[in-house]
Amino acid sequence: MDYDILILGGGIIGCAVAYELSKYNFNIALIERDYDVADDVAFFNTAIVYDGSETSDDVMSGLEYIGSNIMRETCERFNVPFKKIGCLRVVSDENGILKLEEMYERAKRRGIEGVYLLDNKDVYDIEPNIKSNVKRGLYSENVAIVAPFDLAIAYAEVASDNGVNFRLEEEVLNIQELARGFRVTTNKNKFNCKVVINTIPHEIFIQENGKVEEQVIEENKEKSKNMSYLLVDDNYKNKLNKIVIETFDKNSFVISAPMTTSGSLIGIKTTKKSSLDESLEYANRVISNLTRKNINNIFKESYNKDSMLIDDSEIDRGYIRITGTHYGKITIAPAIARMICDTISNNLNCTLNKNFIDKRREIYKFRELGKKEANEIIALDSRYGKIICVCNQISEGEIVDCIRRPLGARTVEGVKRRTGAGFGSCQGSHCYQKIVNILARELDKNITEIVDDSKNSKVLESRIKEFKDV
Ligand SMILES: Cc1cc2nc3c(=O)[nH]c(=O)nc-3n(C[C@H](O)[C@H](O)[C@H](O)COP(=O)(O)OP(=O)(O)OC[C@H]3O[C@@H](n4cnc5c(N)ncnc54)[C@H](O)[C@@H]3O)c2cc1C
């Protein structure tokens, strides 16, 4: 066998599974087709960590509850931004009140503490800047925000340091079941392994007895529903401190959440594609005086209907499949990874890895250092004194470190995700070219070879004779 375990896909689930399994003496590889792990985890470095009180599905609720608790400990250990800030759901009609009461009763039945049903006065005490004519609210103090890129990359770095082989830029083409184990064919290699953990979200080919069978996982997009996201500048005066969700009807809501770095994020779900002005109109039903001037960036996507599948029914054959979408998949990733690890370690004869190091190599974040500490680090490496991203105060030292770390950044997006450079109010317009130059120097490449995110995203197409830098 080439490997005991092959993990297919390097999203948050694949990376969390790799980390958990690296605690055992398995020979493991993770195969990811992109240049980097966690490429699709989010548009921005903030995700909500749910507490299991909001969903009507008891299984998902349990996974969210366990996942959020494991995540809090993991983030503390790996120094990943995780802030328990609380979530306030507000309603302004009778139907909404009934829904909140149902949610509250469910949370009580599940034994989730820290969930309170509030009248409108209590709501405004917690969040005086909410604009709407709120009748009632449901406050859950357990809900948190996390930096999802940091978390996924931390999982991958620790797994890599503990021996997991990350095979990037390698695309899985098919999986063939053998008399013992599996053969996974990629665009570069063929590997035999005992166990396959497949987290790839789309179709894959499974061959049984030489026969090719196409398994198509339905794209479960609700075509009629759209999400728009507005990144709100930190200077916006009426920002909300909690995560606030106001549901208007079954097809539309507005969600506002502070970001893990600075500024806030507003998500708007509607039935029709909204222009920026229409999105602002929706957002202003919940907060006040939000204008175009306060918006740094906009993202849009169609709304995914939840369709999560965790299938370990074929574990005796050595095959586990995790697929589908769920609005809280980041939250449940740590719980799924633990569950899979328990199942596999019970099924395969294995021992704990005595050399396992549950620690991420240290990262110096200039903006978080005190003056004395910053000066000490600058004295050791002057690149920590040279600021590249002025908005988020990211130094050259941090960018160089993120390229040279295990599973280091090789693309501009990789640098941005790891350091936060380019995610400030100018959205990279002042630092993008500087990041490209540092990448070229550190990777010993020509500047025209540097890509934004993937193979087909070259930053500069070709050399222009007049510019000697290029
Ligand atoms: C806009 C948005 C907001 C969200 N907000 C939240 C939130 O606030 N809280 C929360 O808990 N969750 C949230 N989620 C959910 C969460 O971000 C995603 O569901 C989660 O990141 C999916 O992770 P994954 O590992 O399952 O899949 P993916 O991230 O899709 O990973 C699968 C990987 O497989 C790779 N791959 C695909 N095909 C192949 C192949 N043939 N060979 C090799 N590799 C392949 C892909 O490149 C990818 O890296 C949000 C999702 C979206 C879209």
Q: Which of 33, 68, 142 gets mutated to test ligand 1 (max ligand atoms within 8 A of its CB)?
A: 33
pLDDT tops 60 at residue 19: yes
Which ligand 1 atom is nearest residue 40's CA? 29
Give the integer Cα–Cα distance in Å for 298 and 230. Answer: 5
331 lines ligand 1 (CB under 6 A): yes
Nearest CA to ligand 1 atom 38: 200
411 lines ligand 1 (CB under 6 A): no
104-148: pLDDT as tens digits: 999 999 999 999 999 999 999 999 999 878 999 999 999 999 999
Q: How many CB atoms lie within 10 A of CB 320?
A: 24
168 lines ligand 1 (CB under 6 A): no
Structurally, at CATH architecture level, domain 366-449 sits in Orthogonal Bundle (1.10)
Q: Which of 30, 298, 327, 336 gets mutated to test ligand 1 (max ligand atoms within 8 A of its CB)?
A: 327
260-282: pLDDT as tens digits: 988 899 999 988 888 999 999 99
333-384: pLDDT as tens digits: 999 999 999 999 888 888 999 999 999 999 998 888 899 999 999 999 999 9
Domain ranges across the chain: 1-82+144-219+306-361, 87-141+221-304, 366-449
Residue pair 51/80 in contact (Cβ under 8 Å)? The answer is no
393-434: pLDDT as tens digits: 999 999 999 999 989 999 999 999 999 998 887 888 899 999
Point out which residues pair with 232 in neighbouring strands.
Answer: 264, 295
pLDDT tops 60 at residue 217: no
47 lines ligand 1 (CB under 6 A): yes
175-202: pLDDT as tens digits: 999 998 999 999 999 999 999 999 998 7
Q: Which of 8, 41, 61 gets mutated to test ligand 1 (max ligand atoms within 8 A of its CB)?
A: 41
Nearest CA to ligand 1 atom 25: 11
| CATH number among 3.10.580.10, 3.50.50.60, 3.40.50.970, 3.40.50.1370, domain 1-82+144-219+306-361 | 3.50.50.60
Residue 223 banded pLDDT, cuts 50, 70, 90: low
329 lines ligand 1 (CB under 6 A): yes
Distances (CA, A) of 234 to 217, 252, 263, 279: 40, 26, 4, 19
269 lines ligand 1 (CB under 6 A): no
Task: Return the CATH fold of 87-141+221-304.
Answer: D-Amino Acid Oxidase; Chain A, domain 2 (3.30.9)
In the predicted model, what is the mean pLDDT of residues 96-111? 95
30 lines ligand 1 (CB under 6 A): no
Distance between Cα 269 and ligand 1 center (Å): 19
Residue pair 67/332 in contact (Cβ under 8 Å)? The answer is yes
pLDDT tops 90 at residue 465: no
408 lines ligand 1 (CB under 6 A): no
31 lines ligand 1 (CB under 6 A): yes
In the predicted model, what is the mean pLDDT of residues 89-102? 93
pLDDT tops 90 at residue 315: no
What's at 14, amino acid-wise? G
Residue pair 269/285 in contact (Cβ under 8 Å)? The answer is no
